[in-house]
Structure 1
Amino acid sequence: MKLRHLEVFWAVMSTGSVSDAARLLHVSVPAVSRVLGHLEVQLGFPLFDRIKGRLYPTEESKRLFKSVDDIYGRIRDIDRLAQDLLQRRKGLLSIVASNSIGHELVPIALAKLRLRFPDLHVRFVLLGHEALRDCILEGHADLGISTLPMEHPQLTTRLIARSELMCICPWSHPLAQASAVSAQELAQHLNIGYVPKTPMAQRLASFFDQHGSALQTTIEVGTPHSACALVQAGAGVALVEQFSLQSWPRAAFRVIPLEGATPILADLIYLRGAPLSRPADVFVEYLTEVLDIRALIPNAPKLSMQMLLD
């Protein structure tokens, strides 16, 4: 089975017809038919039932396509990687980040970087945990910032930031008068939670389990930013982390420290043995400065979050 056979078979299966496959491959219809027929002869069984001029994949064809599609997925990955390598030679910095730290803090550092390197091409994407890891491992990103632990033998991690869980509520809510809130107090009022299996849902479940309190919410959201928007609109009480609160400097809600919560740590992630480029190093310097100003670097003294927002 030659690569040309795979290419034609994949095109026919993907488009559903020989004519559409020919257009996709920029070749003639007879050329596609000829390669397809040769492939079937070589395999020793038909790949399609031909009924009234139309092709219908056989069961063997469907099973074969799963493997061929996987191969083409890898080929597309190689093509993207080659394009990325070419762009890096021309001056490309590709950064991926977790949603919470990426919404506000990373863009500030990137804006400063662009002033320093005006000709630099920057690619910045927010990703979930597994996608972020894979993007770095496959060479599509130079640097990642993750708020979830990431252990892999091919990756280097470096602690860069620390965030605390905070309670937010409308100023009219009874909790707004508290200087700090415990799990037991919060369990009576918390009505905004997170969709199951999201990082914040797991953090909240762990926090309330550790303190022996039951968590019951009536609203579920996907991100802390959605939770902030709901609290801003007066929909109730939520727990969010300080990284996300950086996007709400003029928020009309009360921010209250949470007692007994485990800090949320953010790491720089990059390929082991692959030194960072000069622009990447400068970006890390700028990001560290931003985090320092916001009192979000590791071992920074705890400040009142309300002081930061005022």
Structure 2
Amino acid sequence: MAARRMTFRHIEAFRAVMVTGSMTEASRRLHTSQPQVSRLIAQLEAITGLPLFDRSGSRVIPSLDGTRFHAEVERAFVGLTSLEAAATRIRAFGAEQLRVAAMPRLAGGLLARAVVRFRVAHPDVIVAIHSGDDETVDHWIATGFCDAALTMLYGDVPEGRLDHVETRACVAVLPQDHPLADRAALGPEDFRGVPFVATSLGSALRDRTEAVFDAAGIPLTITAEAGLGASICTLVSAGLGVSVMNPLAAHEEAKVSPIAIRPFAPALPVHFALLFPPDHARGRLMRAFGACARAVLLEELAVLPDAVPRRPAS
């Protein structure tokens, strides 16, 4: 008897359960029965050989394997979504569309404002905004799923498909009542033995930060980790430690979180830039959107306190 093979129906059920956290809710979303969804999930676990969920009464909780498998599923669906979007554009007699991306902090603010400005001049163009972590955004651009992205890069600026806008230096963030808040500027020596909230392990900022502290001979006393700037600032404001992060996110979060911001040296540069797919021909619309995004980004950076020298695009 031939082994059962994975089908689209299996993946559709899996995604629905991941989103809803319930076999019953997933069945409603898929307009099928709860037993049918349960069978599909059981079959998928047998096919993959992975325990995708931990059952707890009527709720199902993704296992570690399930979470990792879901990340791969979502990557695969990027291609499928791209095909669906292409079909939609064809049905609309070639209506033009741009797909743009950024990490959540940029997508919800800067990128959205760039889209608004772009649409004033190009009201007939459909613009879709996608947000994800830096690795996901880079994947979307590398595969051509998205036409452009606003990005922040730490370290050297790569050549080729990236248009550099401006470079700033990362800043130190700490609770407003922290003893170090009395100092005008901070460096690695000031953080010796001080609890530190780090970015996620493996991120570019984490690698760069550790390199700066290693060079100074100061071990980081990491007490918490977070992937998003908003989460880092929440942990810092709650007194869990200090941190180092990009100035745009820091000053945005300072509007809602009680944190102090100070210059940090040696400089840990962050490059704000526009990213495009490789070998992508930038037509009139893409150039127009790039100009809007660049202008909005420069306006936002211009109002930040000029704590450190800036380096504009050459």
In structure 2, what residue type is equivalent to 1:174? P
Q: Which residue of 2 aligns with 1:82?
A: 83
User: Taking structure 1 as the reference length, what is the TM-score of the superposition?
Assistant: 0.65
Matched, 1:220 2:225: yes
Matched, 1:156 2:157: no
Change (3 A) 1:102 1:266: same
In structure 2, what residue type is equivalent to 1:114? R
**Is the 2:224–2:240 contact (alpha carbons within 8 Å) kept by the matching residues of 1?**
no
Measured after TM superposition, the shift of residue 236 of structure 1 is: 3.3
Measured after TM superposition, the shift of residue 135 of structure 1 is: 1.6
Deviations 1:13-44 (A, max 9, x none): 949xxxxxxxxxxxxxxxxxxxxxxxxxxxxx
Q: Which residue of 2 aligns with 1:67?
A: none
Q: Which residue of 2 aligns with 1:303?
A: 306
Change (3 A) 1:208 1:136: same
Secondary structure of 1:104 counterpart: helix
Q: Aligned equivalents of 2:9 and 2:48: distance in 1?
A: 9
Secondary structure of 1:83 counterpart: helix
Deviations 1:30-73 (A, max 9, x none): xxxxxxxxxxxxxxxxxxxxxxxxxx99x9x989xxxxxxxx99
Matched, 1:195 2:200: yes
Matched, 1:186 2:191: yes
Change (3 A) 1:243 1:12: closer
User: Taking structure 2 as the reference length, what is the TM-score of the superposition?
Assistant: 0.64
Secondary structure of 2:301 counterpart: coil
Matched, 1:106 2:111: yes
Alignment match of 2:147 (pick from 142, 147, 161): 142
In structure 2, what residue type is equivalent to 1:269? L
Q: Which residue of 1 aligns with 2:267?
A: 261
In structure 1, what residue type is equivalent to 2:122? F
Deviations 1:199-253 (A, max 9, x none): 3322221221122211012122222221112233444322221131253252432
Q: Aligned equivalents of 2:127 and 2:245: distance in 1?
A: 29
Aligned runs of 1:1-310 on 2, under 5 Å?
Answer: 10-11=6-7, 14=10, 79-87=80-88, 89-148=94-153, 156-248=161-253, 250=255, 251-295=257-301, 303-304=306-307
Measured after TM superposition, the shift of residue 143 of structure 1 is: 0.9
In structure 2, what residue type is equivalent to 1:227? I
| Root mean square deviation of aligned Cα | 3.9
**Is the 2:198–2:226 contact (alpha carbons within 8 Å) kept by the matching residues of 1?**
yes
In structure 2, what residue type is equivalent to 1:108? R
Taking only the aligned residue pairs, the percentage that are identical comes to 18
In structure 1, what residue type is equivalent to 2:306? L
Secondary structure of 2:268 counterpart: coil
In structure 2, what residue type is equivalent to 1:215? L
Which consecutive unaligned segments of at least 5 residues does structure 1 have?
16-55, 64-71, 306-310
Measured after TM superposition, the shift of residue 86 of structure 1 is: 4.3
**Is the 1:105–1:246 contact (alpha carbons within 8 Å) kept by the matching residues of 2?**
no
Q: Aligned equivalents of 2:282 and 2:8: distance in 1?
A: 43
How many aligned positions are there?
246
Change (3 A) 1:143 1:180: same
Secondary structure of 1:217 counterpart: strand
Q: Aligned equivalents of 1:99 and 1:14: distance in 2?
A: 30
Measured after TM superposition, the shift of residue 87 of structure 1 is: 4.9
- Please say which of residues 210-219 and 141-150 is displaced more in the overlay: 141-150
Change (3 A) 1:197 1:76: closer
Which consecutive unaligned segments of at least 5 residues does structure 2 have?
12-42, 50-72, 309-314
